[in-house]
Structure 1
Amino acid sequence: MSKKAKKERQKSAKLLTLDTETRGLTGDVFRVGLFDGENYYVANTFDEIMNIFEQYKEYECHVYVHNLDFDLGKIATTLFTRDKVCFAKSIFINGNVVTLHADSMILHDSLRLLPGTLEKLCKDFGLTDNAKKDLSEIMIEQGYAIYNKDGSLNKRKSLGNYFENVPADDPVLNEYLEFDCRSLHEILSIVMEIAEIDLETLVKCPTTASLSMRVFKEQYSESYDLVATHWYTGEWGRFLEDHVRLSYYGGRTEVFTPHLQNGFHLDVNSLYPYVMKIAKFPVGYPNLLKDGQAEKKWKHWKRRAVGGGVMWCRVDVPEDMYLPVLPKRDPSGKLLFPVGKLEGVWTLPELLEAERNGCTIEAIYQMVYWERMEYIFKEFVEHFEVLKKTSKGAKKVFAKLVQNSLYGKFGMNRKRTSYGDMNERYELDEKEIPYRVHKHNNNGLQMEFIEYLSESNAMYIQPHIASYVTAYARILLYRALKEQHAKGEIAYCDTDSIACSAEMDKSMIDDDEYGKWALEGVIKEGIFLQPKFYAEEYENGKKVIRAKGIPRDKMEELSFENYKEWLEIMKEGEQERIHIFDGHKSRKKFSTTLKADEHFDTQREMKKSINLLLEQKRIIDYKNNVTRPHARYDYGEKKDQMDYIEYQEYEKKLNDMYDDVDDIKELVDEFGYIKCMQTGDMYYEEYKHFPRSVRSKYFRKTGIAIDVWAEAAGWELNELLEEFRLMGVK
């Protein structure tokens, strides 16, 4: 290590918070605030703020910004011009800037660490002195208010009008900006205090999940050491990991009865933390057992329940089952719970649950088996459960965040899109790692950087742990669904919630106890059109509207009556698509514009509609208000047979719920197919995990290289890869 590098590493870390005010979504910055814990600075430009960092030369400055991706688009030209940005030390996750490393400062997005608006965080953390200010009264008094048709204040439009027109020296505006900076600094300080970590540790935790893992590792080291092993390293380890990952499924989300009159909406209290607390998990050496060995172990495990594992097998699911147990990804990647003859990999507990409910395991091929089972999360969850139940404000919020975020780290993908500086090309060439060079000559900048796929060797990546957590959770939900169905109608479920007609046993109801059910509302009428797309009206007059993928301002325009109208359209079955909205504009992600050589304020227009040709997770008869599970045949006399031509016809029904997928198909028709990838190609590891539907619909051997196609079609490459991945998520 050079003397200069050693000196830089010895710098003390300093926490600062920054916020900008802009003239609307695409307008310029007109006020910038910076707070260092003691002193607050304000200026009209980021250029002026950068001058202040001269006094912090002796520190390693960590600057937190809430929703960094937005602010960075406004300040990047100044930052990249005046400072040296190191892409190799920066972190991008799913196309979002999480950490941007420059010589004078390291920018962090606090939104990735603490999800939610700053206003909500202030309320949750119990801030009073430095809480984010509500401008509603000021906007009304000063004439910036815009009202809805019913006379109520349209806060979103009013705020837009306010920031587009308010003078930069307005006292209320400047107090608002200062409080934003001070409140974020106070919240981060509280997090460090509760987590019992210093700033040097906090800055190594860019996300909620990474903070949760850090707490688990440092404060529950014995449990961490049990699970964080090296068994998935090397060629053999990766083979085992790929096999185990096939058993990792998400939550169960299904419509059973589209229209419910009079019922109940119930949620499990802290479902994932609960199963993590009460259950044992496989630890130690993973044994690979095949054929006869696997069959013998399965029979032995059923008798004695010693150890744990995942098993590749064939299962007959009776065709008359209304509530099948086992999850199965269909060719589009959707998570179904079908009847028929299924082949796949599942955890042993979920297979046992299937057998107990009438399924038959007809063939066993392979098992990854662990001899030991331990309560690795019991102490961790119990500690934060007590903290959550006995605390208010910050401690309660922190306990909830840490508990709910941990398990996902064990199942994270090892492959991640990373960025580097041009001098890294030589090392990547030596390792034969493909990369792409990006040139940006817009926004007054001239720069080059590279993009490549990096691989994490983190020992905490243990997919069998995440697989077991979600399997335990699905079993708990399944048993509740089965019980409620025996007493009446079930209308809907989503991971940890149920809408049903019958009351749940009082012994299972409690507002706080983990694993029990809280009554969210007594339903007067519920309309469940599709998974994550429903509306409920409660007896107390409250109305709940849910529509995944729709921006918040558009959600505010939806009503319960809209859902009733759409239900009638679905009953008629004559339309192919229901229009939701179009013309909604949003700014592209910073990384998208950076790589596409576009202006940082480039907008993207969104449109959404319900595709009525979409095959749902169950076969839904809206007219008769009934559903039934799909049938799938992976083997046997009825085995599903589809060649590419047949599958393309079938795939027309398997598009995503909204128009994004259709947009990609339109671009394929315009620019041509994307080229299939082979071993050694830069994005092959991503490509091989795409569902068959994605590969057959958008890729051909004679197609165009994906980076060239993305650039021509106007897609940011990482966003395109993420879109393809999401097509395969439950």
Structure 2
Amino acid sequence: MTLCPELGVKGYIDHKDVVVSDLEDRREELISYLRQDILILGGVFLKSQEINWAKYKIDIVRTMTLSGLSLKIFRKKYFDDTSFHISIPTRNQDTFIRRGYYGGHVDVYKPVGLDLDYYDVNSLYPFVMKSYPMPSGVPVWVNNLSGGVDLDTLFGFIEAYVVCPSSIERPFLPFKEKSGTLIFPTGKFIGVYYSEEFKFARTLGYEIIPLRGYFFEKKKSPFEGVINDLHSSRLEAKKRADAPMSWIYKILIHSLYGRLGINPESIITEICNQKHGRPRVESTPDVRCSYSCCYKSLCSDIHYPYISRPDCYYTDTDSIILGSPLPEDLISTTELVSDDTRIVKHKGPAKDFVTPEFFEQLLADPSFSKEIAHQANF
């Protein structure tokens, strides 16, 4: 199903067969294909504009991205500043809190295994967004937390002295080295983390000594309504076999948390004459990094019991590969590798050349490499 079935099908051209030397001979075929492509694209934009205006009273012409549209939907239809105030952080606040915004946890614990089970969590970030309390109000800075402060009384983003016992085989808290590399170390270090992440780490045996931080009111999540409604709309689209709208609702659901955590330094590109010089850098005011930090931290809390299992081979933020199956009551989506017991994870333009045999060679010799010719016609 398409958004504009009345415009016909797009047609098909194998782009691998299109080369510069054939352009003139295939002129009519290619122009006809491009015209139909543009016609359908225009129809899709008009249909999307109609749907969004009818449903949310938002004109997509004034919205550059789906993540921006997701934020506008939330603010226009669901956000109530009187019951849950979302503060726009100052540069100092954003800089401090962003230190606790770590990337996803990707690790290979065991590089080879047979008869493995692959699990992926459905919409982990949106689930956390709607289900857990979130920071509300203007952040309050406390510069000195020494003197035996109770971690359970704190809610916000804390810089702390951390001790991870060497007995923890798969450490929980991330740490970013000066080089930018994200590691999960044992030993002693200082870092900024979400308070709830510290509380979970403490249950694993970590020692946490809070030093300073920004603190918020703890309130019920303001995102429950928008996540539930977008999810319901997606389910309705699936029932009527409307794949395009199902995809759009999925992207809207997953775009909101990323939009809130966007880097405040944005490049503004302008068409200038020689007098203007280089594109300027401007600050993006519509950023609330604290919420993206919360989601990432809480997702780690949920995910850790599974990646810490002795039979966990691999983790990729919201997925795991295990040596034995999970209990049936925990399974939402399962993919069992049955046609080939060797699992190979690969991306990039040469991914078709990454075979199990190549992976085995790389495993035996990490310095092994192979040069592959890759051609892009345009």
TM-score normalised to structure 2 length:
0.88
1:48-67 to structure 2, matched below 5 A, reads: none
Indicate yes or no: 2:133 matched with 1:274. Answer: no
- Secondary structure at the counterpart of residue 369 of structure 2: strand
| Pair 1:546 & 2:319 matched | no
Kindly report which structure 2 residues correspond to 1:3-42, keeping only aligned pairs within 5 A, or say none. none
- Aligned partners of 1:207 and 1:294: how far apart in 2? 48
Matches within 5 A, 1:287-302: 287-292=140-145, 295-296=148-149, 298-301=151-154
Structure 2: runs of 5+ lacking an equivalent:
none
* 1:379-422 Cα deviation digits (max 9, x unpaired): 11100111112213232111101011111121111112223466
1:329 Cα deviation (Å)?
Answer: 0.9
Work out which of the residue numbers 304, 311, 316 in structure 2 matches 1:489.
311
Show the counterpart of 2:342: 526
Question: What's 2:224 paired with?
Answer: 378
What amino acid is aligned across from residue 130 of structure 1 in structure 2? G
C-alpha displacement at 1:342, in angstroms?
A: 2.0
**Which residue of structure 2 lines up, in the alignment, with residue 578 of structure 1?**
369
Is 1:205 matched with 2:63?
yes
Q: Does the aligned pair in 1 maintain the 2:313–2:322 contact within 8 Å?
A: yes
Decide whether the 8 Å contact of 2:133 with 2:218 is kept in 1: no
How has the CA–CA distance of structure 1 residues 201 and 193 changed in structure 2, closer, same or farther, with 3 Å as cutoff? closer
Aligned to 2:17: 158
* Counterpart code for 1:470: K
Number of the residue aligned with 2:246? 396
Equivalent residue for 1:103? Answer: none
1:222–1:456 distance in 2 versus 1, CA, 3 Å: same
Does structure 1 conserve the Cα–Cα contact (< 8 Å) formed by 2:86 and 2:137?
A: no
Q: Structure 1 residues 178, 163: CA separation in 2 closer, same or farther (over 3 Å shift)?
A: farther
Given the superposition, is the C-alpha separation of residues 238 and 562 from structure 1 closer, same or farther in structure 2, using an over 3 Å criterion? same
Per the TM alignment, residue 288 of structure 1 is displaced from its structure 2 partner at its CA by 1.1
In structure 2, relative to structure 1, the CA distance for the partners of 1:580 and 1:259 (3 Å cut) is farther
CA offset digits 1:326-380 (Å, max 9, x no partner):
111122212221111121000011101110011111x321021112322111011
Separation in structure 2 between the aligned mates of residue 163 and residue 491 of structure 1, nearest angstrom:
48
Q: What is the CA–CA distance in structure 2 between the aligned matches of 1:293 and 1:193, rounded to whole Å?
A: 57
**Structure-2 residue corresponding to 1:607:** none
Listed one character per residue, the Cα deviations across residues 681-721 of structure 1 (whole Å, up to 9, x for unaligned) are xxxxxxxxxxxxxxxxxxxxxxxxxxxxxxxxxxxxxxxxx
3-state secondary structure, aligned to 1:203: helix
Residue in 2 aligned with 1:625? none
The equivalent position to 2:95 in structure 1, one of 242, 245, 249, is 242
Q: 1:257 aligns with which of 98, 101, 110?
A: 110
Equivalent runs, 1:274-423 vs 2, <5 Å: 274-292=127-145, 295-296=148-149, 298-301=151-154, 308-361=155-208, 363-392=209-238, 393-420=243-270
1:505 to partner: Cα distance: 1.1
The superposition leaves residues 457-489 of structure 1 with CA deviations (integer Å, 9 ceiling, x where unpaired) of 23xx1111110011111111112223xx1xx52
Find the aligned partners of 1:395 and 1:295 in 2 and give their Cα distance.
53
1:324 deviates by 1.0
C-alpha distance in 2, partners of 1:174/1:462? 45
Q: Is 1:476 aligned to residue 292 of structure 2?
A: no
Equivalent residue for 1:180? 37
Asked if structure 2 preserves the Cα contact closer than 8 Å seen for 1:325 and 1:353, the reply is: no
Inter-partner Cα distance in structure 2 for 1:582 and 1:332 = 31
Distance in 2 of aligned mates of 1:295 and 1:556: 57
| Shift of residue 555, structure 1, vs aligned partner | 2.4
- Aligned partner of 2:320 in structure 1 is 498
For the residues of structure 1 that align with 2:145 and 2:363, how far apart are their CA atoms? Answer: 52
Deviation of 1:128 after TM superposition, in Å, equals 7.2
| Structure 1 residues 417 and 369, CA gap change in structure 2 (3 angstroms) | same
- Measured on the aligned residues, the alpha-carbon RMSD in Å equals 2.8
Q: Contact between 1:347 and 1:471, CA under 8 Å: does it hold in 2?
A: yes
Structure-1 separation of matches of 2:32 and 2:271: 40
Change (3 A) 1:223 1:270: farther
Q: Is the 8 A contact 1:315 1:342 kept in 2?
A: yes
Residue 168 (structure 1) aligned with residue 27 (structure 2): yes
1:517-547, CA deviations, whole angstroms, 9 ceiling, x for partnerless residues? x1133364335xxxxxxx1xxxxxxxxx522
Pair 1:464–1:210, CA change in 2 (3 A) = same
What is the CA distance between 1:196 and its match in structure 2?
Answer: 2.8
Which residue number corresponds to residue 509 of structure 1?
A: 331
Give the drift of 1:193: 3.2
Residue 455 of structure 1: which of 276, 280, 283 is its match? Answer: 283
* Structure 1 position 191, deviation (Å): 2.4
Structure 1 CA distance for aligned equivalents of residues 233 and 293 of structure 2: 27
Amino acid at match of 1:520: E
CA distance in 2, matches of 1:364, 1:222: 33
Gaps of 5+ in 1: 1-122, 136-154, 302-307, 423-437, 440-446, 511-517, 528-534, 536-544, 571-575, 588-730
Inter-partner Cα distance in structure 1 for 2:28 and 2:43: 25
Match of 1:708 in 2: none
1:270 and 1:299, CA in 2 relative to 1: closer, same or farther beyond 3 A?
closer
1:132 matched to 2:10? The reply is yes
Cα deviation, 1:562-615, whole Å, max 9, x if unaligned, reads 223322333xxxxx352343565687xxxxxxxxxxxxxxxxxxxxxxxxxxxx
Letter in 1 for 2:259: K
Following TM superposition, the consecutive aligned residue runs of length 4 or more in structure 1 with deviations greater than 4 angstroms are 123-129, 197-200, 582-587
How does the TM-score come out when normalised to structure 1? 0.47
SS for the counterpart of 2:115 is: strand
Deviations 1:623-644 (A, max 9, x none): xxxxxxxxxxxxxxxxxxxxxx
1:290-317 Cα distance to aligned partner (Å, 9 max, x none): 324785352434xxxxxx2011001111
Q: Return the structure number with greater strand share.
A: 1
Are the equivalent residues in 2 in contact too, given 1:313–1:365 (CA < 8 A)?
yes
Code of the aligned partner of 1:579: K
C-alpha spacing 1:322/1:156, structure 2 compared with 1 (3 Å): farther
Cα distance in 2 for partners of 1:183, 1:353 equals 50
- CA distance in 2 between counterparts of 1:189 and 1:222 reads 30
The 1-side partners of 2:306 and 2:104 are apart by 14
CA distance in 2, matches of 1:224, 1:559: 57
CA shift for structure 1 position 272: 0.9
Change (3 A) 1:273 1:489: same
Judged with a 3 Å threshold, the aligned counterparts in structure 2 of structure 1 residues 562 and 292 are, in CA distance, closer, same or farther, namely: closer
CA 1:347–1:200 in 2, change beyond 3 Å: closer, same or farther? closer
Match of 2:372, SS? strand
By how many angstroms is 1:199 displaced? 10
* Code of the aligned partner of 1:219: K
Q: Does the C-alpha gap of structure 1 residues 333 and 268 become closer, same or farther in structure 2, counting only changes over 3 Å?
A: same
Task: Name the SS for the 1:581 alignment partner.
Answer: coil
Per-residue deviation at 1:224? 10
